[in-house]
Amino acid sequence: MLTGKKILLGITGSIAAYKSIVLLRLLIKAGAEVKVILTPSAANFVSPLTLSTLSKNQVLSDLYEENSWANHVMLGRWADVFIIAPASCNTISKMACGQCDNLLLAVYLSATCPVILAPAMDEDMWKHPSIIDNLNRLKTFGNEIIPVTNGELASGLFGDGRMAEPEVLLQHLENALRKTQELKGINALVTAGPTQENLDPVRYISNRSSGKMGILIALELQSRGANVQLVLGPSTIEVKAGIVVTNVVTAEDMYKACEPLINDASIIVMAAAVADYAPEISASQKIKKSEDVTTLNLKQTKDILKTAGTLKTDQQVLVGFALETENEKANALKKLSSKNADMIVLNSLNEEKAGFEKHTNTITIFDKKGSEFHFDNKPKSEVAKDIVNCIIQYRHE
């Protein structure tokens, strides 16, 4: 799996850096080509000479060397996968907010390959809300976080915070590389976010969708090697480079953006919360109180999922969402057949930790072949993996 693969190994300032030397040896033994990047403080823990000797490559650490402005972009593109092990508290925080004061961070921000982090820190730091928030943020960028283990820490205390062992890191790298092949070259179309249907220049009808679930599905499809087109309604979430994003506002815009893409997509996931109705007239000037408007005339929007279902060929997998408050299974199955989808992902508003504006979700997937898959409540990044796994399995059945 690792023969000939290009691995970037980022090492930050942590006592766990000694394990990265072992990881480097394992990677070289497995036939990988490895380039090592150190943060300035990492050199206090491991010697560049050891790393350059083992990797047979110059160790990189300087952002300001001649021509290095171009190097960080090329390094990010050169790699098949980028692992940062150990990832210190400081580097995690900088990655989460886009800071760029060393080469490792610059490469991270330019990387188009999968990024894996193996955090290492003391337990109190590991459990601090700011670190928890930062790691959650990194997950929303599609980065994989390898869980820390429990044991003796650099402080002499016992607890969570030890970096995973080199053999475990190697397994994660192999899995990440395997995943990048699963949908290699496949075109995918994803819709996400709400739509806004204008009443006048200052008011609109919309819903509580943040776009998070659909964006995470787009990222997950991309991490499996797919070429992803994301048609995104108004959302405050930034989308990582590598995905082609078309920003839209209304259901009509979303329909127009999707229509030309449907034919070429082998996988279509419609996760957007598209408004079913839009105002018949969108006033060009602000509607005044004095106009005494008490009734809104609405017209039905075009159903994008249904359109894709009508155009669908046997080579395409079409996935829709159903958000239900009652008769959940019956309604989801009705949607599966009425929209001619291959799968419907049901999320229930009756679940406390699921749905709009939440970081977690509880889903059940129904497919056209009659299967039904239930999943526990979990972070939306994990839910995205479950959905993409189901799509891949369905394609292979």
Helix, strand, coil in percent for the chain, rounding step 5: 40, 25, 40
Cα 108 to chain centroid, rounded: 15
Give CB contacts under 8 A, 24+ apart, made by 121-125.
121/14, 121/88, 121/89, 121/148, 121/161, 122/153, 122/154, 122/155, 122/157, 122/159, 122/161, 123/153, 123/157, 123/159, 123/160, 123/161, 125/89, 125/161
The window from 15-23, 202-210, 236-244, 321-329 that contacts ligand CTP (CB under 6 A) reads: 321-329
Q: Which is nearer to ligand CTP, 84 or 278 (CB)?
A: 278
Active site residues: 207
Strand partners, 72: none
Give min distance, CB of 365 to ligand CTP, in A: 13
Q: Would you state the structure tokens that stand for residue 159, as one six-digit string? A: 């607890």
Count of residues in the chain = 397
Instruction: Please name the amino acid found at residue 113.
Output: C
Q: How far apart are CA 309 and CA 23, in angstroms?
A: 48
Among 304, 363, 387, 390, binds ligand CTP (CB under 6 A): 304
Give min distance, CB of 321 to ligand CTP, in A: 4
Among 126, 141, 321, 394, binds ligand CTP (CB under 6 A): 321
Among 322, 384, 388, 391, binds ligand CTP (CB under 6 A): 322
> Which residues have C-beta within 8 Å of that of residue 391, sequence separation ≥ 6?
267, 269, 317, 319, 343
Regarding 190 and contact with ligand CTP (CB under 6 A), the answer is: no
The window from 76-84, 283-291, 298-306, 372-380 that contacts ligand CTP (CB under 6 A) reads: 298-306
Site for ligand CTP in 30-59 (CB under 6 A): none
Give min distance, CB of 396 to ligand CTP, in A: 23
Q: Which is nearer to ligand CTP, 85 or 319 (CB)?
A: 319
Site for ligand CTP in 219-278 (CB under 6 A): 251, 270, 272, 274, 276
The window from 82-90, 106-114, 147-155, 319-327 that contacts ligand CTP (CB under 6 A) reads: 319-327
**Parallel, antiparallel or unpaired: strands 317-324 and 343-348:** parallel
Among 75, 216, 248, 305, binds ligand CTP (CB under 6 A): 305
The window from 31-39, 41-49, 161-169, 300-308 that contacts ligand CTP (CB under 6 A) reads: 300-308
Site for ligand CTP in 276-295 (CB under 6 A): 276
Cα 297 to chain centroid, rounded: 39
Cα-Cα-Cα-Cα dihedral sign, residues 141, 144, 150, 151:
negative
Q: Residue 159's closest CA among 168, 149, 150, 147?
A: 150
Q: Which is nearer to ligand CTP, 9 or 272 (CB)?
A: 272
SS3 28: helix
Give min distance, CB of 391 to ligand CTP, in A: 14
Among 89, 323, 336, 346, binds ligand CTP (CB under 6 A): 323
Give min distance, CB of 382 to ligand CTP, in A: 20
User: Which residues in this chain contact ligand CTP in the complex, by CB under 6 A?
Assistant: 191, 251, 270, 272, 274, 276, 301-305, 320-323, 335
